[in-house]
């Protein structure tokens, strides 16, 4: 690895993200105007045959930036470092999800307790969890062993037992892993890394059992006591092993590792870092989503607690047919604002799966693709809410009232009414022809309640900024605010009973060009153009006693609302959003929403 220059001395950075299909490079420069992202380029990733060398794709993407910027970035097949009179860069950094990213198998004694903690540690480190084993899952031991053999992960994270707790069950789990003799995904003559982060009292027998058949690493327990998780040490170890073992085995990564100034991070790990930074700096609750071709990552930070999930088979190209399989055709069709032949739609989706790099040329195709995106996002978010929960297994004092409530421990941490900001990333959101389309896709999928700001990553640079933040927080923050995040606006949506057609809201806005008053019925969308700063003073009054916009049922809310490139969106369509089942009614209602948002060009037959 190249020596990272001291913080403050860096003037230019080349950052790449080596994705499974495309390597994206951006140039970040300290200009007279402060830190800016100035140029970008991309090229196909070259991990696979015939090239089998990731650095080819990196150099191609860097060359594109070089041609555009006039700054020499590539010399003699290397990244030119340092920056000499505007040629070369002071530092090169990278993230990677090429070759399927980092794939882990996790294990714990109880599925909903230590196995879940292990899963959180793995996901937080940016991994895809291929399977989670527990002594209480429904599979028989020989079935579990067979499965571990088939999976061929990059590493295994084994938790189980609180410190001083069960030993026997943890050992049973380890014996199962030993019997499977798991092998690494990328082959090679090295042992599979196994991280033990369970009951520290069995660390020694675990070492005896697994030390000879694997590269065993023992770290602090992810769940030292029932009431608390300690995910940091396991996450850090995953990152170390990602560099030492996984990356070192992937084609060309030895060279790539020698170029970078700081360790290569798994792409979702870097995005997670940025999400946490936003939440921390602004002291807000954030939900972030990165919808890709194969997978959709969802991140959340609520009251300081970070969670990440990856929906491995929900995406817009490679996995698009899986969205159809999981959501079902009626769920996708309910968002399509025109009548369509169902068999034809299935074939179109199938064709996108087998030719994943195509783009929607016609307006009709774009609308279908955005309908699918809503469902992919919605399903990924449901999975996230189910995973981002309070710790299960914690003893709680209960009152009589609680006894009638089945939840308590294990409640989701994602409370929509407490959510301040949604940040979207990924092609279908970042590259939608109109920003209103991105905003509506996110509103429809996430169904924010009360007042929520919505933003997108302009050109997918959050991973790059995530790594940059580990060396220069100031540069990362400046570029994030000025070039990365695009505020679309705020969504205001009441909660409460939905009865279509009855009066829902009175909206009074002290707009810069004079006051405005709007009255809305239930089942409507209203868009008002407004810039992000300085915001506008607003009074929103529910017109029904059971509707709530954040001040209590039936009570008026006076607050400052911020717009963005889209503006303010008032949404009285109910939560969950109510759409008629009848085809004609549905199409006409969807059409009215499209018009209210000025979402698509108006064209006959489109």
Partner 1 sequence: MAAIFTPGLTVTEHHLIHKTRQLPLEGEVQVKVGDMVQADDVVARTELPGKVFPVNVANQLGVDPARLKSHMLVKIGDSVEKDQKIAETPGFWGFFASEATAIVSGTVESISVVTGMVIIQAAPIPVEIDAYINGRVVDVIPGEGCVVQNQATMVQGIFGLGGETRGEIAMAASTPDEVIGPQHITAEHRGKVVIGGAYVTIEGLRKAVEVGAAALVTGGFDYDEIKELLGYEVGVAITGGEDLGTTLVVTEGFGQIGMAPATFELLQKKVGQRASVNGATQIRAGVIRPELVVTFDDEEVPNELIADPEPQGIKVGDLIRGIRAPWFGRIGTVKDLPVQPIVVDSETTVRVLEVDFGDGETAPLPRSNVERIER
Chain contacts with partner 1 (rule: CB under 8 A): 20-21, 44, 47-50, 98-100, 141-142, 145-146, 149, 167-168, 171-172, 175-176, 178-181, 183, 205, 294, 313, 318-319, 321-326, 343-344, 346-351, 353-366, 431, 433-434, 601
Q: Between 355 and 584, name the residue whose CB sits nearer to partner 1.
A: 355
Of 246 and 540, the one with the shorter C-beta distance to partner 1 is: 246
Q: Closer CB to partner 1, residue 75 or residue 168?
A: 168
Of 185 and 562, nearer to partner 1 (C-beta) is: 185
Which residue's CB is nearer to partner 1, number 6 or number 601? 601
Helix H, strand E, coil C: the string for 283-307 is CCCEEEEEECCCCEEEEEEECCEEE
How much of the chain is helix, strand and coil, in % rounded to 5?
Answer: 35, 25, 40
CB of 418 to partner 1, least distance (A): 34
CA distance 291 to 295: 6
Distance CA 606, CA 603 (A): 5
CB 296 within 8 A of CB 430: no
The tokens describing 345, both together, are 């739609």
CA distance 376 to 325: 11
Give the 3-state secondary structure of residue 104. strand
Contact predicate 506/518, CB 8 Å: yes
Helix axis angle, 320-327 relative to 363-387, nearest 10°?
70
Query: How near is the Cβ of 240 to partner 1 at its closest, in Å?
Result: 24
> Nearest distance from residue 141's CB to partner 1, in Å?
5
Residue 349 or 569: which CB sits closer to partner 1? 349
Question: Cα–Cα distance between 80 and 39 in angstroms, integer?
Answer: 16
* Shortest distance in whole angstroms from residue 33 CB to partner 1: 27
Contact in structure between 600 and 606 (CB atoms under 8 Å): yes
In angstroms, give the least distance from the CB of 363 to partner 1.
Answer: 5
Max Cα distance, the chain (Å): 76
Give least dist CB 498 to partner 1, A: 32
Closer CB to partner 1, residue 146 or residue 227? 146
Distance CA 40, CA 62 (A): 8
* Nearest in space to 21 (alpha carbons), one of 260, 306, 295, 350: 295
Least distance from partner 1 to the Cβ atom of residue 581, Å: 21
Closest separation in Å from C-beta 49 to partner 1: 7
Beta carbon of residue 188, minimum distance to partner 1 (angstroms, whole number): 12
User: Distance between CA atoms of 124 and 452, rounded to whole angstroms?
Assistant: 25
d(CA 117, CA 106): 10
- The secondary element (H helix, E strand) that includes residue 236 is helix 232-241
Output 145 or 475, the one with its CB closest to partner 1. Answer: 145
* Nearer CB in complex with partner 1: 369/522: 369
């Amino acid at each position: 690895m190249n020596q990272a220059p001291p913080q403050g001395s860096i003037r230019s950075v080349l950052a790449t993200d080596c994705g499974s299909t495309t390597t994206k490079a951006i140039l970040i420069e300290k200009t007279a105007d402060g830190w800016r992202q100035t140029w970008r380029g991309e090229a196909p990733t070259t991990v696979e045959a015939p090239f089998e060398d990731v650095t080819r794709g990196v150099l191609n993407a860097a060359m594109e930036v070089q041609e555009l910027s006039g700054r020499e970035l590539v010399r003699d097949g290397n990244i030119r470092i340092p920056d000499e009179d505007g040629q070369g860069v002071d530092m090169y950094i990278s993230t990677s999800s090429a070759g399927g990213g980092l794939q882990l198998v996790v294990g714990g004694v109880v599925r909903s307790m230590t196995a879940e903690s292990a899963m959180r540690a793995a996901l937080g480190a940016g991994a895809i969890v291929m399977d989670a084993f527990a002594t209480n899952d429904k599979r028989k031991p020989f079935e579990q062993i067979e499965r571990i053999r088939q999976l061929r992960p990059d590493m295994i994270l084994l938790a189980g037992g609180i410190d001083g707790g069960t030993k026997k069950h943890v050992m049973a789990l380890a014996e199962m892993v030993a019997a499977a003799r798991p092998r690494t995904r990328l082959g090679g003559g090295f042992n599979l890394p196994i991280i033990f982060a369970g009951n520290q009292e069995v660390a020694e027998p675990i070492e005896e059992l697994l030390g000879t058949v694997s590269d065993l690493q023992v770290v602090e327990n992810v769940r030292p006591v029932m009431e608390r998780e300690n995910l940091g040490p396991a996450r850090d170890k995953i990152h170390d092993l990602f560099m030492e073992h996984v990356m070192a085995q992937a084609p060309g990564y030895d060279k790539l590792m020698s170029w970078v100034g700081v360790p290569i991070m798994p792409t979702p790990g870097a995005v997670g870092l940025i999400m946490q930074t936003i939440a921390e700096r602004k002291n807000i609750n954030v939900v972030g989503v990165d919808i890709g071709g194969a997978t959709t990552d969802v991140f959340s930070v609520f009251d300081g607690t970070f969670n990440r999930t990856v929906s491995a088979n929900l995406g817009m190209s490679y996995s698009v047919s899986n969205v159809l399989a999981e959501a079902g055709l009626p769920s996708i069709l309910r968002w399509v604002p025109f009548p369509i032949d169902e068999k034809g739609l299935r074939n179109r989706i199938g064709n996108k799966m087998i030719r994943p790099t195509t783009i929607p040329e016609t307006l009709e195709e774009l609308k279908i693709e955005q309908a699918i995106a809503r469902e992919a996002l919605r399903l990924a978010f449901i999975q996230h809410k189910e995973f981002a929960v309070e710790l299960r297994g914690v003893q709680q004092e209960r009152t009589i009232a609680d006894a009638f409530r089945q939840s308590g421990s294990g409640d989701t941490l994602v409370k929509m009414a407490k959510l301040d900001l949604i940040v979207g990333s990924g092609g279908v959101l970042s590259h939608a022809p109109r920003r209103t389309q991105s905003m509506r896709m996110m509103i429809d999928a996430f169904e924010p309640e009360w007042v929520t700001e919505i933003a997108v990553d302009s050109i997918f640079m959050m991973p790059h900024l995530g790594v940059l933040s580990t060396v220069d927080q100031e540069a990362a923050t400046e570029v994030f605010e000025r070039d990365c995040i695009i505020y679309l606006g705020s969504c205001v949506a009441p909660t409460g009973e939905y009865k279509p057609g009855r009066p829902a809201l009175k909206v009074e806005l002290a707009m810069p060009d004079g006051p405005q008053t709007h009255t809305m019925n239930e089942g409507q969308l209203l868009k008002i153009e407004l810039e992000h700063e300085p915001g506008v003073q607003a009074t929103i009054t529910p017109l029904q006693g059971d509707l709530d916009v954040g001040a209590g049922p039936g009570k008026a809310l006076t607050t400052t609302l911020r717009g963005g490139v889209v503006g303010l969106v008032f949404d009285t369509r109910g939560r969950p959003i109510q759409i008629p089942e009848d085809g004609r009614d549905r199409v006409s209602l969807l059409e009215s929403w499209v018009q209210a948002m000025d979402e698509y060009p108006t064209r006959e037959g489109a």
